[in-house]
Structure 1
Amino acid sequence: MSERMQPFALEGDPYLKVTFDGPDDDMNPHNWTSKRKWTAAAVVAMYSTIAPMSSSMLTPSLDSITTEFQLDNSIASQIVFSIYVLAWGMGPMILGPLSEMYGRVIVLQIGNAVFVLFSIACGLSQNVVQLILFRFVSGLAGSAALAIDDGLLADMWSPDELGSVVSLYSFGPLLGPAIGPIAGGFITQYSTWRWSFFALAIASGVIGIAGIFTLKETYGPRLLRLKAKHLRKQRQDDRFHVGTQGLPPSLPQAVFEGLVRPLKMACTQPIIAALSLLLAYIWGVLYLLLSTFSQLWTVQYHESISIGSINYISLAIGLYLGTHIGAVASDKIYKYYKDRNGGVGSPEFRAPLMIIFAPLVPIGCLWYGWSAQERAHWILPNLGVAVFGIGGIITYQGVQTYILEAYPRYGASAMASTTICRSIAGFVFPIFAPAMYQRLGYGWGNTLVAGIAILLGLPAPVLLYKYGSKLRGKSAYSAGE
């Protein structure tokens, strides 16, 4: 630890306050070199890609699992798939606050180690109950990267730099669910579904070893607490402390912040409730699509498991295009409306982009559903899925940015509200998907999905733009209150 700091005692303070050694202290992650920052971001991005891969990598294997464990219906196999999504959404509620108590890196590394162990346990499962249980625990552990990644990036980059950093960083986590089924398809066809889990464990283990040597703590208050501890020991003086702002929350406080406040905001804030419902539906449709897409190609188009899984690339392309379109257009549209408003910005200026691209969600669903129903050329269902991906991710980005700007003090809790709803939808939707498509077919099934998307997705950004400011003005959680 650096010893250049000259500790000082404010009048009446019983402690010597420990801070960074001025604005240029290289202990402060904001002052790290660009190479060091991007190395840390790249390693965390790899963690954040592997965990989402596990959420979807099993989809080509569901028929094999059903056969091996002699399951009577598709519901049990769909629970095997979706239970991970439920756990993956619940984990950050606790792991996020814990990262503020013990640091980002230790939470990430322990989470990754548990993920490796329970991925191996999934591969060794002898019955479906074991597989569901082990997969749930691996989902909780795998969510560690999701819990700390936004905070870790904010620890290193200023708000002015963060927009472009997040747009580049986010591609890995978005790519994971799309490429997972591709890898899973080839593994299942040429080996066994168990090796999907073993492969994940090996990849996560390698990344974890790399992280031990390359990833250092970035959370400022944690670094200052370690510095204060070092100074107390070195100088035999117990007065060195970081002050109340640097103290970690207690465990009850962490549980409150991680669970109670998000639920309270979801129940009392109309904006949070509406946007959580919108994101939950988009997330649910995404995982409905992920869980059934491979069956379309093997049953309807008579492709092999491995070749059929390659079609997931269309979703990856849609997410990629949507991410970069949103990153570029969002700030330009925001600046346009800000200039028209006399240079005064507003979170509602994020809504116009959502108004433009939200219709792509139902359009993509209809395009995909009816082209699949008619067994049209393989490119047409893929184009529909890509269109859905573009609309879905731009809507997601718009909602995320709006919430963080509208609720700056409680942004983490507000986003946690949407995470709870998303994880429930991601768990439930794949369970009823096979029965829905069996009864209605891809055409009318996706027409139903698109109709609900129209009712939820099209009015929401318009109403947000018109009435969001008034609703925020009545909220004790929002900016300026």
Structure 2
Amino acid sequence: MVAPAAGQIASGFNITDQFQVNLTISVFVLAYAFGPLILGPLCEVFGRVPILRGCNLFFTAWNLGCGFAQNESQLIAFRFLAGLGGSAPLAAGGAVLGDMFAPEDRGKSLAIYSLAPLLGPAVGPIAGGWIAERSTWRWVFWSTSIVAGIVQIMGFFTLRESYAPVLLDRKAKKIRAKLDAESSGSVKEVRTIFQKSAKRDYRHFFFVSICRPFVLAAQEPIIQALGLYMAFIYGIIYLVLATIPQIFTNVYHETPGFVGLHYISLGLGLWVCSQINSRLLDIVYRKLKERNCGVGEPEFRLPTTFPGTIMIPIGLLIAGWGAQEHTHWIVPDIGFALIGGGMVLTFQAMMMYVVDTFTIYAASALAAVSFLRSIAGFGFPLFAPAMYKTLGYGVGNTVLAAIAFVIGVPAILGLYKYGKRIRGLSKHAKNK
């Protein structure tokens, strides 16, 4: 929602450097890199619900503060803190799906889960553009804080814990308390299958959990490969979010409200491919499982990513050269739709692959993957103005398209062919 209002923010705080303007947008995503590294492990210590509720409240408070910022420094600081709170679903969301659904049904659950966050890049800028044009950029933050407050109230009544170790630990405590009350002598130790002893060493457990994302990032080739590729794809989508206002303001000379409408193309590609792919994930998984003598493998999630590795570079070429040659505005929009569709094809399948591979450690694994991804989402919009100023939209996007194709196709093919062998060498992955 902030991207279309960036011009107003720059005018209000007298910001003339485009790098600083883009920083007010992308610093939120920088927090997405660091938040899950702590929040993911905390989800595995205290459960999903306390983290989600607490972080949403944290986000609401600091996002509200953004609307009251009096200078650029305050806005950047508040945006970063709001991003820390908003990053909780990156670590916990996919893990919750892994808690609640069997591998054969996770695709359907993903269709519901991913609908809102994937439509955000389309609906948000549209609303933000009209809010900024008809009122002030401050209402961009205040309106989102109101919605976040409503979500907080709903979550208080509807969210239920799903993490098995926490649920079983609660049950074990009740059994121990009941046995202690009924027995005057010693009783047999009661513990869960996830505990070595009934009495948990929280200091040791907390330390191990906090370190787990870093251990996974350092030891697991799967995390490294997926993290790097998803970093590039995530960087592309945030580059598009920051570039759309520049293209349709400077090339097509549109007002902020109408500029925001062009995000519909991105959202359309995201939504259509999201709903198709989330159902194909289950169908493809079941078919490949049947061919594999009834044994499911995480690699069975990857076939649906192959169209995405082609759609992204094609979309970049169409959008870049369409803007460069001042074609009809529908041409860049077609390119943005293909980029959005390709992004969601890779994002959904890879997220399910991580959940299926690391199961009980899914939150930490997703946190490790999201670190590199979010760093790229933060950095790409910052270098975009200099790149496009030097190369133009056409050549600049051609370079990105070439990189996307050269990295994407070999990475997915290699992981599909050798993923099981790599998992067999892992200490954390599901390798049977």
The two structures have a TM-score, normalised by structure 1, of 0.80
Change (3 A) 1:412 1:457: same
Query: Given the alignment of the two structures, is residue 331 of structure 1 paired with residue 282 of structure 2, yes or no?
Result: yes
Identity within the alignment, % = 43
Q: Tell me the SS of whatever aligns to 2:313.
A: helix
Q: Tell me the SS of whatever aligns to 1:125.
A: coil
Measure, in 2, the Cα distance between the counterparts of 1:340 and 1:217.
Answer: 35
Question: Of 73, 77, 80, which aligns to 1:136?
Answer: 80
What is the deviation of 1:466?
2.8
Measure, in 2, the Cα distance between the counterparts of 1:255 and 1:90.
Answer: 17
Which blocks of at least 5 consecutive residues in structure 1 are unaligned? 1-56
1:109: which partner in 2? 53
Q: Which moved more, 1:369-378 or 1:408-417?
A: 408-417
Q: Indicate if the aligned counterparts of 1:367 and 1:381 stay in contact, CA closer than 8 A.
A: yes
Query: Given the alignment of the two structures, is residue 446 of structure 1 paired with residue 397 of structure 2, yes or no?
Result: yes
- Post-superposition Cα deviations, 1:121-146, rounded to whole Å, max 9, x if no partner, equal 11111111111111111111122233
2:69: which partner in 1? 125
Give the letter for the 2:249 counterpart. T
- Which protein has greater RCO, CA pairs closer than 8 Å, 6+ apart? 2
Change (3 A) 1:148 1:267: closer
Measure, in 2, the Cα distance between the counterparts of 1:338 and 1:197.
Answer: 47
Measure, in 2, the Cα distance between the counterparts of 1:235 and 1:468.
Answer: 47
Q: Which moved more, 1:424-433 or 1:205-214?
A: 205-214
Measure, in 2, the Cα distance between the counterparts of 1:178 and 1:251.
Answer: 44
Q: Tell me the SS of whatever aligns to 2:254.
A: coil
Q: Indicate if the aligned counterparts of 1:266 and 1:272 stay in contact, CA closer than 8 A.
A: yes
Q: Tell me the SS of whatever aligns to 1:402.
A: helix
- Post-superposition Cα deviations, 1:389-425, rounded to whole Å, max 9, x if no partner, equal 1111111222223333334454433322211110110
Measure, in 2, the Cα distance between the counterparts of 1:64 and 1:249.
Answer: 52
Give the letter for the 2:205 counterpart. Q
Measure, in 2, the Cα distance between the counterparts of 1:226 and 1:143.
Answer: 27
1:44: which partner in 2? none
- Post-superposition Cα deviations, 1:36-94, rounded to whole Å, max 9, x if no partner, equal xxxxxxxxxxxxxxxxxxxxx11012122222222241111211111111112322222
What is the deviation of 1:456?
0.8
Measure, in 2, the Cα distance between the counterparts of 1:345 and 1:225.
Answer: 29
Q: Indicate if the aligned counterparts of 1:104 and 1:218 stay in contact, CA closer than 8 A.
A: yes
Question: Of 107, 110, 132, which aligns to 1:166?
Answer: 110
Question: Of 320, 323, 346, which aligns to 1:369?
Answer: 320
Query: Given the alignment of the two structures, is residue 75 of structure 1 paired with residue 31 of structure 2, yes or no?
Result: no
Measure, in 2, the Cα distance between the counterparts of 1:153 and 1:360.
Answer: 27
Query: Given the alignment of the two structures, is residue 401 of structure 1 paired with residue 345 of structure 2, yes or no?
Result: no
Give the letter for the 1:130 counterpart. Q
Number of aligned pairs? 424
Give the alignment's Cα RMSD to 1 decimal: 2.7
Q: Tell me the SS of whatever aligns to 1:458.
A: helix
Measure, in 1, the Cα distance between the counterparts of 2:365 and 2:168.
Answer: 27
Q: Tell me the SS of whatever aligns to 1:357.
A: helix
Determine which structure has the larger helix proportion and give its number.
Answer: 2
Question: Of 411, 415, 428, which aligns to 2:379?
Answer: 428
Q: Which moved more, 1:163-172 or 1:179-188?
A: 163-172
Measure, in 1, the Cα distance between the counterparts of 2:156 and 2:287.
Answer: 45
What is the deviation of 1:262?
2.7
2:388: which partner in 1? 437
1:96: which partner in 2? 40
2:256: which partner in 1? 305
1:245: which partner in 2? 194
Measure, in 2, the Cα distance between the counterparts of 1:235 and 1:253.
Answer: 26
What is the deviation of 1:363?
0.5
Give the letter for the 1:311 counterpart. H
- Post-superposition Cα deviations, 1:82-112, rounded to whole Å, max 9, x if no partner, equal 1111112322222233234334333222222
Q: Tell me the SS of whatever aligns to 1:319.
A: helix
Change (3 A) 1:468 1:161: closer
1:257: which partner in 2? 209
Which blocks of at least 5 consecutive residues in structure 2 are unaligned? none
Q: Tell me the SS of whatever aligns to 1:475.
A: coil
Q: Indicate if the aligned counterparts of 1:354 and 1:395 stay in contact, CA closer than 8 A.
A: yes
